[in-house]
Structure 1
Amino acid sequence: MLLREALPDERQRLYELGHREWPKGRSLAEYIEDNQKEEASGTRYVLEGVNREITASLMLLRLRPYLYGIGSVVVEPGFRGQGLGRALLTQCMDKHPAAAFMLYSEIGTAYYEKLGFQALPPAYQHHAHGLCMVRADRFLYERILQEPIPDYF
Structure 2
Amino acid sequence: MQIREAKIEDMHTIYMMGYDVWGGDLSVEDYIKECSQSIKYQKGTWFLLQDDVTGKILSSCVIYDLELKEMRAKGIGSIATRAEDRRKGNASELVRGVIKEIEHTENCSTFFLYSDIGTVFYEKLGFLRFPVQNYLQSTCMYLSKDRHVNMESIEPPPYF
Q: Is TM > 0.5 for Structure 1 vs Structure 2? A: yes
CA distance in 1, matches of 2:149, 2:37: 32
Offset at residue 94 of structure 1 (A)? 0.2
Q: Any conservation in 2 of the 1:56–1:85 contact (CA below 8 Å)?
A: yes
- The residue number in structure 1 matching 2:3 is 3
Relative distance call for 1:32 and 1:126 in structure 2 (3 A) is farther
CA distance in structure 2 between the partners assigned to 1:127 and 1:137 by the alignment:
25
Q: Does the Cα contact within 8 Å between 2:130 and 2:156 map onto a contact in 1? A: no
- The CA deviation at 1:90 is 0.4
Preserved contact between residue 73 and residue 110 of structure 2 (Cα < 8 Å): yes
Identity of aligned residues (%): 29
Tell whether the 8 Å contact from 1:56 to 1:74 is kept in structure 2 after alignment.
Answer: yes
Say if 2:127 and 2:142, in contact at 8 Å, map to a contact too.
Answer: yes
- In the superposition, the TM-score normalised over structure 1's length comes to 0.84
- Does the 8 Å contact 1:70/1:101 carry over to 2? yes
Aligned to 1:139, the other structure's residue is in SS state coil
Q: For residues 96 and 13 of structure 1, what CA distance do their matches in structure 2 show?
A: 24
Unaligned 5+ segments in structure 2 are none
SS in 1 for 2:147: helix
Q: Which runs of 4+ in 1 moved over 6 A?
A: none
Q: 1:146 to 1:117 in 2, by over 3 A?
A: same
2:109 to 86, 89, 99: 99
2:135 is the counterpart of 1:132: no
RMSD: 2.1
Task: Quote how far apart the aligned CAs of 1:75 are.
Answer: 0.9
**Structure 2 residue 18 is matched with structure 1 residue 18:** yes
SS of residue in 2 equivalent to 1:129: coil
